[in-house]
């Protein structure tokens, strides 16, 4: 890794951690209903929303009511996104005149955006009207993120309350998350991005002459799609001169800001943040990759603040950061090291002042290896899934990093809200095993962890493996699953595994080696995303409900402290061991085999 | 009854023989299904056996010898787990058999009705012979020297020495007498001298002995809350590993189709991998750990009414300890008489002696002794004086005598002050000074009053047990708060508390105050443990989370508690807490060990299963295991043998040290976590070498 690369990545981690406390403290105030510097403007608006919607902000909800409200709200969102796609042909704000999206793709996309996954089977600039993008996708970017935060806040209240049947009010938490946290941050980020050249308009696409005309040679195909052979038996080709290019336009900046902040990741354009109109400069890249993990990291501090012991929040943040930095180091190392076969063939893969070295395939020159590997690790650490490089082109180990980060269950920062509640469930399991080892009924933050919590926690760690391994197994033995691969062999396996790891953990990033917009992947993927989101959120709320009813056990010398480096290690160990033991066989047949073959 | 469990070695040959037989009986699927982890292994054993028959029929997916060996070792895995459980049960059974001998049918001598006065003598009793099995609650029986007590009961009349070794294992006889806290007798014990008239308090089949037998046999054993939570976690891991293994078949088929070499992974290998990965070590030993925990209690001479109570003992945050007998040696002794101004020493000594003549408490006797030794006052016969003794009660907190129109009382300063104020007197200032001084010095002041006049103070002193301070310091390191319960006034209590090193104290304790204190701690989320023996302890015992009744105590106390200490040793609570903690720690440690083991097993089995398709995967064979078959067999054999290897640990429990939670976790993580990762690498390699040398693979 180059010094320059080190500095950029190091600065990133420092800024991220430095922002955790101010933003986290602000969020804690918001959730506790305390006044903030935004209150004079937003408080009247908040009250107006409650009045219009008929919400009593002081009404507490049991975990079941909370869960039902969340599910209904999300289902409604899913219907709206589905409807907008199916009807976009007759709706305004459609300068390119896009027709309705197919039913299977519409379902997949609706499920994808409602679940905060933002897996994209479609090509944004060639499929979606501005109306669909703004009213459907961008709105879900806000509220699906706010939903994750609402579930997290309910869990935190579960730890905080004692002898209470309620875990807060879903509508209030949802409204505050959107109004006080997501909206102001998104507006700020959108302005910064626009200053860097990210587009924000309602114009039709523009066709411009190329500065450097070029030509493309393609094989000639007959009506059946088979190559036509010439008299020598070779495939016939034809050469087309390319002199102009269509540049997509649209209200991109406003949507990109929230797709980064809300760990959504659904790009306005198909190549996502690798596109110059979506991520124009190294500076815009820095802000976008910062926004990826910003709220997820800061929520740890919010958690600590709300449970009355900020050390607890720092401990969880430390566990996340250690895993993140370790995986980031592996990814950077693998990508800087490059492909040994290229070196063997005489290519210079050592970084120097004049060229980046390493593995630059599929990476944007303006970002280079350091920022591409950083982005890949961060986007899969958070359940974001936006990309600024093509993960399919990473080295096997470099590609293993994003794959494994998702398979850990999106708990290293993770999705806004969902990452931390996932991590807290892991903490519950860690506390359970550790608590037994010190000879006490385990307790976390003063709450006893008993059979009911273990049952729910077991469901939470079970669902992602079921979804990921189950659907991957189905795909690798069915023709429909195999047909979409761009590659064969171990890499083809990695592509399928990556797709389901991404959808089964609500990440949404694509390895970009699979044509997923086919009924098989649209249907299975849609199901995977719904299962992975709600079958985790519901048991988490059940834990919240159960914890809220319990008494607080005061800590003593026999209580296992959960803010120490030792516990942080234990937590990291549990996350890694569960991830490794679940996915190592699959990884061995994918990226690990690829790596071993490459190094042969 | 000399075969007490204390002397039994860990692997008693008799128990081992019984356990081996039981291991096979426990293969019953209805028994196995209670333990999800081992049930999966049983299914795996059945599946591989079926595959073996298929192979013998010539359609095998792998060589028959290989399937046979895998299948055999899977069966061994189940049997080894059964053996562990049977070993733990066997130790309890041996104890139960010994107890059962004491529960012979006894011919009891039933009285028509309870004798009404104390002039009763056995000579003029008319009794009907009745078998003990037909005795009902409320029946009254006579037991004379040499006879066995037919059932649990309360002494109505009589004093006798009783041999309770059948229950306690303690051969020294104990005194049992009517009234007070020593009035309970247990069925199966033998009266050695004198006679007793006993009112039966339990119906047949519900006696203490019966309950003890069913408890030690584990007949009524139910899973404890913590064990249920752990079983859920283990079931969760089992499902994850089931998924990881089952999906390997399609993954393998895909790889073979793509690469065009090797063969899809066989069912035998997948089953072997599954059994190796699921937490069989803890799954197989889980119930043995629970039973062994109960067994360790029994070895400590404590009978727990339920496993739940044993588990709760590890969670105790607060220990309520009676001062007398637990913290201080026996009883307080009178050491000085301090008269108030204007009262002669003789008058005080005389009044003190009179007030104490009929007081049979050790304190009372020590006053008489002091009066005799220092002031030459001879003992007088209280009846001859025509005096009426006023006994001590918890409500008045005074005792004394009434005679010749005099009302002599001795008691705590508060009680006497109240008493003299009622008759127009008051507590003199010098007395108040003496009281406070004595209390500050750790003594107990007893104020003596003659009618409304206060005469002076008797100084009683407590002797704190040696080394008790160390035990309390140890408890503090365990995170347990000790609270001393005493009837003393706050000053006295504070001094003794400081001397003994307890964290807190409850002075002037009444049963109501005790109950309220327990409730207050429980409201704060703490788990409270206490010991008690008296009937007035019963409400507090019933309220406490871990309540240890002394075997010498009353029936009411024993009914209210959830444990009975046969040694009647109040400091036993500390041992009980340790046993509870050991139980949880053993579960946690073996869970960690079990899961940590999986890392090495992956390194053994993945290259073995897939190197045929992807030869590069041999790079993962870091242990350089000889062949794919030997690698898989080594992992399976290691997995089975480790269960046997850890039986002693499961039965003895992981050692508890009072060093604080963090240090304990660090050490256990190093031993069972890191050790759990490293050990199987060595073990599997060693087994592989043995297999190669023996030509098996």
The secondary structure of residue A391, as a DSSP letter, is G
Query: What contacts A418, CB < 8 A, 6 or more positions away?
Result: A116, A148, A151, A152, A383, A410, A506, A533, A536, A537
In a domain, A499, yes or no: no
Report yes or no: B249 and B51 within 8 Å, Cβ to Cβ.
no
DSSP state of B309: H
Residue A386, pLDDT > 80, answer: yes
Residue B210 near chain A (CB below 8 Å): no
Tell me which chain B residue has its CA closest to the CA of residue A471: B247
Q: In whole angstroms, how large is the CA radius of gyration of chain A?
A: 24
Q: With helix as H, strand as E and coil as C, how does A512-533 read?
A: CCECCCCHHHHHHHHHHHHHHH
Which residues of chain B make contact with A455, given a CB cutoff of 8 A?
232
Longest dimension (CA), chain A: 88
User: ipTM score here?
Assistant: 0.91
pLDDT at A74 over 70: yes
- Compute the nearest-CA separation of B660 from chain A (Å): 6
Q: Write down the mean pLDDT value for chain B.
A: 84
CB contact burial A55-84 (16+ within 10 A = b; e otherwise): beeeebbbbebbbebbeebbeebbebbbeb
| B664 contacts B586 by C-beta, under 8 angstroms | no
Which site among A558, A564, A569 would you substitute to test the B interface, given the most B Cβ atoms closer than 10 Å to its Cβ? Answer: A558
10 Å Cβ neighbour count for A123?
14
- Give me the number of domains chain A comprises: 2
Q: What is the pLDDT of residues B275-326, one digit of tens each?
A: 999 999 999 999 889 888 888 888 888 888 777 888 888 888 898 888 776 7
Taking CA–CA distances from A446, the nearest residue in chain B reads B525
* A101 and A224 share one domain: no
Any idea which residue has 């077991």 for tokens? A458
Residues 6+ apart with CB under 8 A from B412: B397, B398, B445, B446, B447, B487, B488, B489, B508
Residue A358 lies in a domain: no
Chain B residues whose beta carbon lies within 8 Å of the beta carbon of residue A488: 258
For residue B116, the model assigns a pLDDT of 67
CA A392-A394-A396 angle, to 5 degrees, is: 95
Residue A70: name the closest of A139, A144, A155 by CA.
A144
- CA quadruple B585, B588, B593, B596: dihedral positive or negative? negative
pLDDT exceeds 50 at position B1: no
Comparing CB atoms, the residue among B251, B523, B616 nearest residue A473 is: B251
For residue B221, name the pLDDT band (cuts at 50, 70, 90).
Answer: low
Claim to verify: residue A241 and residue A287 sit in the same structural domain? no
Residue B124 has pLDDT above 80, yes or no: no
Look at residue A179 and tell me whether its pLDDT is greater than 70.
Answer: yes
- pLDDT at B4 > cutoff 50: no
Contact B357, B368 (CB under 8 A): yes
Are residues A367 and A8 in contact, defined by beta-carbon separation less than 8 angstroms? Answer: no
Whether B119 shows a pLDDT value over 70: the answer reads no
Residues of A in contact with B260 (CB under 8 A): none
Beta strands B107-111; A443-444: pairing state? unpaired
User: Using CA atoms, how far apart are residues B228 and B209, in angstroms rounded to an integer?
Assistant: 29
How many CB atoms sit inside 10 A of residue B598's CB? 23
* Cβ atoms B663, B581 nearer than 8 A: no
**Boundary of a domain, candidates A295, A318, A351:** A295
Q: At CA A236, angle to CA A230 and CA A242, rounded to 5? A: 155
Residue A157 lies in a domain: yes
- Segment B618-636 mean pLDDT: 93
In sign, the C-alpha dihedral spanning B56, B60, B65, B67 is negative
Which domain does A228 fall in, by range? 206-247
Residue A261 located in a structural domain: yes
Question: Using CB atoms within 10 A of its CB, is residue A259 exposed (0-12), middle (13-18) or buried (19+)?
Answer: buried
Residues whose CB falls within 8 Å of the CB of residue B49, separated by 6 or more in sequence, listed in order: B71, B75
Nearest CA in chain B to A441: B315
Chain B partners within 8 Å of A560 (Cβ): 661-662, 665
Mean predicted lDDT score pLDDT of chain A: 92
Decide if A372 contacts A411 (C-beta within 8 A): no
List chain B residues with CB under 8 Å of A582. Answer: 240, 243-244
CA distance B228 to chain A (A): 6
> Is B391 in CB contact (< 8 Å) with chain A?
no
| pTM across the whole model | 0.85
Q: What kind and span of H or E run contains B336? A: strand B333-339
Question: Does residue A333 lie within any of the structural domains?
Answer: no
Contact B500, B469 (CB under 8 A): yes
Q: Which residue reads 């006497």 in tokens?
A: B416
Exposed / middle / buried, residue B529 (Cβ in 10 Å: 0-12, 13-18, 19+) = buried
What confidence category does residue B5 fall into, taking pLDDT thresholds of 50, 70 and 90? very low
Tens digit of each residue's pLDDT (9 = 90 or more) over A496-544: 999 999 999 999 888 877 888 889 999 999 999 999 999 999 999 999 9
Contact B127, B152 (CB under 8 A): no
Q: 3-state SS of B37-79?
A: HHHHHHHHHHHHHHHHHHHHHHHCCCCHHHHHHHHHHHHHHHH
If one compares A175 and B408, the residue with the highest pLDDT of the two is: A175
CB-nearest to B243 from A458, A469, A593 is A469
Contacts of B662 in chain A (CB under 8 A): 560-561, 564, 566
Instruction: Point out the residue among A451, A489, A585 whose CB comes nearest to the CB of B248.
Output: A585
Kindly state whether B224 is in contact with chain A, defined as any CB-CB distance less than 8 angstroms.
no
Number of CB atoms found within 10 A of residue B467's CB: 8
Query: Which residue on chain A is closest to B235 by alpha carbon?
Result: A458
* A157 in the same domain as A235: no
Residues of B forming the active site: 322
Contact A536, A415 (CB under 8 A): no
Closest CB from A439, A454, A564 relative to B233: A454
Question: Which residues on A lie below 8 Å from B225 (Cβ)?
Answer: 441, 450-451
Q: Judge whether residue A243 has pLDDT over 60.
A: yes
pLDDT digit string (tens) for A427-466?
999 999 998 998 888 889 999 999 999 999 999 999 999 9
The whole-number average pLDDT for the span B200-221 is 71
| Statement to judge: residues A141 and A221 lie in one domain | no
Separation between Cα atoms, residue A395 and residue A391, nearest integer Å:
9
Q: Which residue of A has its CA nearest to B598?
A: A581
Q: Is residue A117 part of a domain?
A: yes
* Per-residue confidence band for B239, with pLDDT thresholds at 50, 70 and 90: very high
Chain A CA closest to residue B677: A577
pLDDT in tens, B400-456: 888 877 888 888 888 888 888 888 888 888 888 888 888 777 677 889 988 888 889
Which residue in the set A436, A472, A492 is minimally distant from B591, CB to CB? Answer: A436
Q: Is B258 on the interface with A (CB under 8 A)?
A: yes
User: Do residues A154 and A232 share a domain?
Assistant: no
For residues A181 and A126, membership in a common domain is answered with: yes
Give yes or no: residues A120 and A185 share one domain: yes
Could you tell me if A184 and A266 lie in one domain? yes
Residue B446: burial class (beta carbons within 10 Å; 0-12, 13-18, 19+): buried
* A232 and A188 share one domain: no
- Give CA–CA dist B111/B198, Å, rounded: 10
Q: Are residues A240 and A113 in the same domain?
A: no
Does A109 reside within a domain? yes
> Residue A282: which of A361, A193, A359 has the closest Cα?
A193
Q: What is the pLDDT of residue B171?
A: 65
Does the pLDDT value for residue A226 go beyond 80?
Answer: no
The reply to whether A148 and A289 lie within a common domain is yes
For an interface test with A, give the residue of B588, B597, B615 to mutate (most A CBs within 10 A).
B588
- Whether the pLDDT of residue B2 is over 50: the answer is no
A542 CB neighbours in chain B (<8 A) are: none
Nearest residue to A261 via CA among A389, A141, A154: A141
Residue numbers of B between 568 and 627 with CB closer than 8 Å to A: 580-585, 587-589, 591-592, 595-596, 598-599, 602, 606, 610, 614, 616-617, 619-620
Collapsed DSSP state (helix, strand, coil) of residue B387? coil
Residue A189 sits in the same domain as residue A89: yes
Which token pair is A48?
């107006």
Establish if A565 belongs to a structural domain.
no
């Amino acid at each position: 890794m180059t010094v320059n690369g080190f500095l950029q990545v190091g600065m990133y981690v420092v800024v991220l951690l430095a922002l955790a406390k101010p933003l986290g403290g602000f969020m804690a105030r918001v959730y506790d209903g305390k006044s903030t510097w935004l209150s004079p403007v937003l408080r009247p608006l908040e009250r107006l929303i409650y009045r219009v919607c008929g919400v009593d902000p002081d009404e507490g909800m049991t975990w079941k009511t909370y869960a039902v409200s969340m599910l209904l709200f999300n289902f409604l969102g899913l219907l709206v996104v589905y409807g907008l796609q199916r009807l976009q042909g007759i709706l305004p704000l459609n300068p390119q005149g896009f027709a309705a999206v197919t039913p299977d793709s519409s379902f997949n996309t609706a499920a994808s955006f409602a679940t905060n996954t933002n897996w994209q089977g479609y090509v944004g600039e060639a499929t979606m009207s501005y109306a669909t993008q703004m009213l459907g996708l961008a709105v879900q970017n806000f509220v699906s993120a706010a939903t994750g935060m609402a579930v997290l806040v309910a869990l935190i209240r579960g730890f905080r309350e004692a002898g209470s049947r309620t875990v807060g009010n879903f509508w209030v938490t949802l409204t505050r998350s959107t109004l006080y946290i997501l909206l102001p941050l998104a507006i700020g980020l959108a302005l910064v991005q626009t200053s860097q050249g990210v587009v924000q308009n309602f114009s039709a696409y523009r066709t411009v002459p190329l500065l450097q005309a070029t030509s493309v040679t393609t094989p000639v195909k007959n009506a059946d799609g088979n190559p036509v052979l010439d008299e020598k038996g070779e495939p016939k080709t034809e050469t087309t001169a390319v002199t102009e290019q269509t540049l997509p336009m649209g209200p991109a900046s406003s949507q990109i800001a929230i797709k980064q902040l809300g760990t959504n990741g659904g790009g306005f354009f198909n190549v996502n943040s690798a596109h110059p109109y979506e991520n124009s400069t190294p500076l815009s890249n820095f802000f976008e990759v910062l926004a990826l993990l910003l709220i997820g990291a800061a929520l740890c501090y919010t958690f600590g603040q709300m449970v009355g012991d900020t050390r607890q929040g720092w401990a969880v943040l430390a566990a996340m950061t250690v895993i993140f930095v370790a995986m980031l180091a592996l990814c950077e190392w693998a990508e800087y090291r490059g492909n040994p076969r290229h070196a063997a063939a005489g290519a210079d893969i050592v970084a120097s002042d004049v060229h980046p070295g390493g593995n630059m395939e599929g990476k944007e020159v303006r970002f280079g290896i350091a920022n591409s590997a950083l982005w890949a690790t961060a986007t899969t650490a958070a359940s974001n899934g936006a990309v600024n490089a093509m993960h399919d082109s990473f080295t096997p180990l470099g590609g293993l990093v994003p794959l494994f980060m998702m398979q850990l269950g999106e708990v290293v920062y993770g999705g806004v809200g969902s990452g931390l509640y996932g991590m807290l469930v892991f903490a519950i399991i860690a506390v359970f095993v550790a608590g037994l080892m010190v000879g006490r009924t385990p307790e976390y933050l003063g709450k006893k962890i008993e059979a009911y919590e273990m049952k729910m926690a077991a469901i939470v760690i079970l669902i992602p493996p079921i979804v990921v391994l189950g659907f991957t197994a189905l795909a690798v033995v069915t023709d429909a699953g195999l047909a979409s691969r761009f590659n064969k062999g171990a890499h083809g396996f990695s592509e399928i595994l990556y797709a389901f790891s991404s959808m089964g953990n609500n990440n949404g990033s694509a390895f970009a080696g699979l044509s997923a917009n086919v009924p098989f992947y649209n249907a299975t993927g849609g199901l995977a995303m719904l299962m992975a989101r709600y079958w985790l959120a519901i048991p988490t709320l059940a834990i919240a409900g159960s914890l809220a009813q319990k008494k607080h056990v005061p800590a003593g010398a026999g209580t296992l402290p959960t803010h120490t480096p030792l516990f942080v290690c234990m937590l990291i160990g549990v996350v890694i061991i569960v991830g490794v033991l679940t996915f190592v066989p699959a990884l061995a047949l994918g990226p690990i085999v690829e790596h071993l073959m490459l190094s042969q | 009854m000399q075969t007490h469990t204390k002397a039994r070695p860990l692997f008693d040959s008799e128990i081992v023989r019984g356990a081996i037989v039981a291991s096979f009986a426990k293969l019953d699927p209805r028994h196995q299904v209670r333990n999800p982890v081992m049930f999966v292994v049983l299914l795996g054993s059945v599946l591989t056996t079926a595959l073996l028959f298929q192979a013998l029929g010539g359609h095998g997916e792998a060589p028959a010898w290989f399937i046979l060996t895998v299948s055999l070792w899977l069966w061994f895995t189940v049997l080894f787990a059964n053996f562990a459980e049977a070993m733990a049960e066997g130790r309890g059974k041996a104890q139960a058999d010994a107890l059962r001998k004491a529960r012979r049918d006894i011919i009891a001598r039933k009285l028509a009705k309870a004798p009404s006065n104390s002039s009763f003598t056995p000579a003029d009793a008319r009794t009907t012979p009745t078998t003990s099995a037909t005795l009902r609650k409320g029946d009254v029986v006579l037991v004379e020297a040499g006879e066995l007590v037919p059932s649990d009961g309360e002494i109505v009349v009589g004093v006798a020495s009783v041999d309770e070794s059948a229950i306690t294992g303690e051969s020294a006889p104990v005194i049992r007498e009517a009234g007070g806290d020593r009035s309970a007798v247990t069925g199966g014990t033998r009266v050695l001298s004198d006679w007793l008239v006993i009112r039966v308090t339990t119906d047949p089949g519900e006696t203490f002995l019966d309950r003890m037998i069913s408890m030690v046999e584990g007949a009524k054993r139910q899973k404890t809350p913590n064990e249920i939570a752990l079983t859920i976690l283990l079931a969760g891991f089992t499902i994850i590993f089931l998924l990881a293994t089952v999906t390997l078949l399609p993954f393998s088929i895909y790889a073979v189709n793509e690469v065009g070499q090797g063969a899809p992974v066989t069912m035998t290998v997948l089953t072997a991998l599954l059994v190796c990965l699921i937490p069989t070590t803890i799954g197989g030993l889980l119930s043995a750990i629970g039973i062994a925990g109960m067994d360790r209690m029994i070895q400590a001479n404590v009978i727990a009414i339920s496993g739940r109570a044993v588990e709760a003992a590890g969670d105790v945050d607060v220990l309520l300890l009676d001062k007398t007998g637990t913290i201080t040696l026996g009883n307080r002794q009178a050491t000085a008489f301090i008269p108030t101004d204007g009262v002669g020493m003789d008058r005080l000594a005389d009044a003190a002696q009179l007030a104490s003549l009929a007081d049979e408490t050790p304190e009372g006797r020590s006053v008489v002794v002091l009066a005799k030794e220092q002031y030459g006052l001879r003992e007088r016969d209280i009846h001859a004086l025509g005096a009426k003794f006023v006994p001590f009660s918890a409500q008045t907190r005074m005792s004394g005598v009434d005679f010749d129109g005099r009302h002599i009382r001795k008691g705590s300063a508060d009680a006497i002050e109240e008493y003299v104020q009622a008759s127009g007197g008051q507590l003199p200032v010098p007395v108040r000074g003496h009281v406070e001084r004595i209390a500050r010095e750790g003594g107990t002041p007893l104020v003596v009053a003659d009618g409304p006049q206060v005469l002076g103070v008797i100084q009683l002193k407590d002797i704190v047990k040696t080394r008790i301070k160390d035990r309390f310091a140890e408890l503090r390191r365990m995170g347990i708060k000790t609270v001393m319960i005493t009837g003393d006034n706050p000053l006295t209590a504070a001094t003794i508390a400081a001397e003994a090193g307890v964290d807190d104290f409850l002075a002037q304790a009444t049963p109501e105050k005790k109950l309220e204190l327990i409730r207050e701690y429980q409201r704060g989320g703490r788990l409270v443990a206490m010991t008690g023996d008296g009937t007035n302890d019963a409400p507090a015992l019933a309220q406490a989370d871990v309540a240890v009744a002394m075997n010498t105590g009353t029936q009411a106390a024993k009914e209210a508690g959830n444990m009975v200490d046969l040694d009647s040793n109040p400091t036993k609570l500390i041992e009980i807490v340790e046993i509870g903690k050991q139980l949880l720690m053993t579960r946690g440690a073996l869970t960690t060990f079990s899961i940590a083991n999986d890392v090495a097993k992956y390194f053994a089995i993945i290259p073995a299963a897939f190197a045929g398709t992807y030869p590069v995967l041999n790079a993962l064979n870091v242990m350089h295991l000889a062949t794919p078959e030997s690698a898989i067999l080594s992992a399976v054999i290691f997995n089975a043998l480790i269960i046997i290897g850890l039986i002693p640990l499961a039965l003895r429990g992981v050692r508890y040290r009072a060093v604080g939670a963090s240090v304990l976790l660090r050490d256990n993580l190093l031993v069972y976590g890191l050790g759990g990762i490293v050990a199987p690498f060595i073990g599997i390699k060693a087994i592989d070498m043995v297999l190669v040398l023996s030509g098996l693979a």
